[in-house]
Amino acid sequence: MSEKKFVTLNVYRYNPDADNEPRYETYKIAYTRGQVVLDALNYIHENLDSTIAFRWNCGTGQCGGCSVMINNTPGLACRTLLEPDQTYSISPLARFPVVKDLVVDHDRGVRRIEKIRPYVERVEPAPRPEKLSREEVSEAMEMKSCIECYSCVAACPALVETWQEFIGPAGMGRLARLGYDPRDVLDRVKLAFINGVYNCTTCGACKEVCLPRHIDIRRKAIEKLRALAVDQGLGPMPGHKEFIKNADETGYVIGVTTTPFVERVPKVIEVEEPVDEVFFFPGCLINLRLQNVGMNVMEVLKRNRVRVRIPKNFVCCSSVMFRSGSRKTANELVLKNVEYFEGLGVKKLVSLCPGCMSTIKLDWPLVLHEMGRKPYTFKAMDINEYLVSDLGIENMNTKELKPLNITVTYHDPCHLNRHQGISEEPRKLLNLIPSLRFIESDESDRCCGAGGGVRAGVRNLSYTIAGKKLDLMNETGADALATSCSFCTIQLKDAASRSGYTQKVYNVTDLLAMSYKGTKP
């Protein structure tokens, strides 16, 4: 007979009419296969404590009423499976006032949506019958499936800092849905602009917690609304314009201030008995500002006997243009790059910059498709992904790695973790380094505030978001902060110096290169 299994729930309890402060109550109950959080709450209510308050209606992921924080992440109680012998923290949905225990006042979310007139506004009565083609409604369909659970509102790192200025993911989804509806007569793009469409960092947390529908608010609402705002002359933000002007004029979003990376290295970096060959995509930042970071990537690849070819005439990946809505420039640069790389016969394209690589993986194929062109033929990979999965971590040169006596915590860049699904790989690489002690921070996947054009367009907001991130990382007591994104590195260093934090910020490949060279952090 199999042994009986249990599950433990630490449930937030608070009755504002009777309690001085909230507390957590612990309930250990029998585990049954397929049990969800709502089943456990119902069991507690029926068998252990009938005073516990929580909300639900459908029990099937349709009504949005049961959303709560599960281990600090928003989710639907009726759709979140429990695992045997695990402990869960269950608390009320963040950002909403608590009515009692797990019941929150959703009015705060509803009122935000009300101000954007969340219905099809029309001036003329509809003809009867009113017919809409599949094409006319297809764009709005995904947004239409929103059940208003507000999990995305609780997860959004930008909304919490700009509650008055930014309507947030659910509101942006609603604006997009109406904006794409041919029957609606209001200027939804202008409403999106007024309601903070440029405050989104494109972190993707909203899609991650949208368990009911997996609505891609970032790409299908926010980035599309931004592109429409640019078409209407409303966007981009003043802070983006210089970057786009540079890209139009030079092919790079930033200007040349010192010798570019591609001029500091030969066309081919040869190694003895190469095991593989890749092209390295430096992106604007490594090419024009962070050349030493590029050199460290070369060191790591060289130590692992990978021949590297440098595409001397690449242009910007267009991440800034896609994120800010400047599609014309973006499309031109994508085409230029694809034709150049295919002309070079590139088979494997590797980059350290997740902003570049997620654009190459996710946006370039769409542009090529829209233009009626064939998909690109090379394999595009992030450096962590390349080392761990393509080259193979088991084949890596660990003999030459020397000890680094340092404790390190890691920040998951949104464009690497959420948009490319790469989070284990950088940790595995850090763990190869002798004497390096790795400490996980709470919410390691919390956005640093740099992305989505927010650092350039809404700088103060980006620093506020980064401040929260740094506090979490510093709570670990780590000597240094690691990440795997040149843009996040700049943001964290900048925000750290403003907040008085003294820890250095490294890329994973910087630490690997130091360990190979035997230099001190």
Tell me which of 104, 176, 192, 203 binds ligand SF4, using CB under 6 A: 203
Tell me which of 173, 235, 236, 413 binds ligand SF4, using CB under 6 A: 173
Note whether 462 and 394 are within 8 A (CB).
no
Q: How far apart are CA 147 and CA 255, in angstroms?
A: 46
User: Which residue lies nearer to ligand FES by CB, 59 or 239?
Assistant: 59
Cα angle, residue 312 at apex, residues 311 and 317 outer, rounded to 5°: 65
Note whether 410 and 426 are within 8 A (CB).
yes
Which two tokens mark 440?
A: 């996980």
Q: How far apart are CA 337 and CA 311, in angstroms?
A: 10
Q: How far apart are CA 440 and CA 408, in angstroms?
A: 8
79 by Cβ neighbours in 10 Å (0-12 / 13-18 / 19+) ranks as middle
78 near ligand FES, rule: CB under 6 A: yes
Q: Provide the minimum distance between the beta carbon of 194 and ligand SF4 in the complex, in angstroms, as a whole number.
A: 16
Q: How far apart are CA 161 and CA 342, in angstroms?
A: 44
User: Which residue lies nearer to ligand FES by CB, 94 or 225?
Assistant: 94
User: Which residue lies nearer to ligand FES by CB, 57 or 460?
Assistant: 57
Question: Which residues between 117 and 156 bind ligand SF4 (CB under 6 A)?
Answer: 146-152, 155-156
Give which of ligand SF4, ligand FES, none residue 514 binds (C-beta under 5 to 8 Å, depending on kind).
none
Question: Which residues between 206 and 265 bind ligand SF4 (CB under 6 A)?
Answer: 206, 209-210, 212-213, 215, 217-218, 222
59 near ligand FES, rule: CB under 6 A: yes
Give which of ligand FES, ligand SF4, none residue 169 binds (C-beta under 5 to 8 Å, depending on kind).
ligand SF4
User: Which residue lies nearer to ligand FES by CB, 60 or 292?
Assistant: 60
365 near ligand FES, rule: CB under 6 A: no
Q: What are phi and psi of 98, to 5 degrees?
A: -80, 130
DSSP reduced 3-state for 191 = helix
**H-helix segments, 345-443:** 354-358, 364-370, 383-385, 414-420, 424-432
| Sign of the alpha-carbon torsion through 368, 370, 374, 377 | positive
94 near ligand SF4, rule: CB under 6 A: no
88 by Cβ neighbours in 10 Å (0-12 / 13-18 / 19+) ranks as middle
209 near ligand FES, rule: CB under 6 A: no
Give which of ligand FES, ligand SF4, none residue 206 binds (C-beta under 5 to 8 Å, depending on kind).
ligand SF4
Interface region with ligand FES, contact rule CB under 6 A, candidates 59-67, 128-136, 192-200, 252-260: 59-67
Give which of ligand SF4, ligand FES, none residue 66 binds (C-beta under 5 to 8 Å, depending on kind).
ligand FES
Give which of ligand SF4, ligand FES, none residue 173 binds (C-beta under 5 to 8 Å, depending on kind).
ligand SF4
Give which of ligand SF4, ligand FES, none residue 148 binds (C-beta under 5 to 8 Å, depending on kind).
ligand SF4
Give which of ligand SF4, ligand FES, none residue 203 binds (C-beta under 5 to 8 Å, depending on kind).
ligand SF4
57 near ligand FES, rule: CB under 6 A: yes
Q: Provide the minimum distance between the beta carbon of 74 and ligand SF4 in the complex, in angstroms, as a whole number.
A: 8
Count of Cβ atoms closer than 10 Å to residue 502 Cβ: 8
Note whether 438 and 408 are within 8 A (CB).
yes
Q: How far apart are CA 145 and CA 148, in angstroms?
A: 9
Task: Please name the residue that has the structure tokens 């590797």.
Answer: 350
Q: Provide the minimum distance between the beta carbon of 31 and ligand FES in the complex, in angstroms, as a whole number.
A: 20
Q: Provide the minimum distance between the beta carbon of 425 and ligand SF4 in the complex, in angstroms, as a whole number.
A: 23
Which residues, listed in sequence order, are joined to residue 276 by a DSSP beta bridge?
306
Tell me which of 11, 12, 52, 65 binds ligand FES, using CB under 6 A: 65
DSSP reduced 3-state for 28 = strand
Please report the beta strands in 194-333, taking only residues with DSSP state E, as ranges in sequence order: 268-269, 276-280, 306-309
145 near ligand FES, rule: CB under 6 A: no
Give which of ligand SF4, ligand FES, none residue 350 binds (C-beta under 5 to 8 Å, depending on kind).
none
Count of Cβ atoms closer than 10 Å to residue 34 Cβ: 7
User: Which residue lies nearer to ligand SF4 by CB, 45 or 219?
Assistant: 219
Which two tokens mark 481?
A: 């902060």
Q: How far apart are CA 225 and CA 236, in angstroms?
A: 11
In angstroms, how far apart are the furthest CA atoms of the chain? Answer: 77
User: Which residue lies nearer to ligand SF4 by CB, 149 or 298?
Assistant: 149
Binding site for ligand SF4 (CB under 6 A): 64, 146-152, 155-159, 169-170, 173, 200-206, 209-210, 212-213, 215, 217-218, 222
Q: Which residues lie near ligand FES (CB under 6 A)?
A: 56-59, 61-66, 76, 78
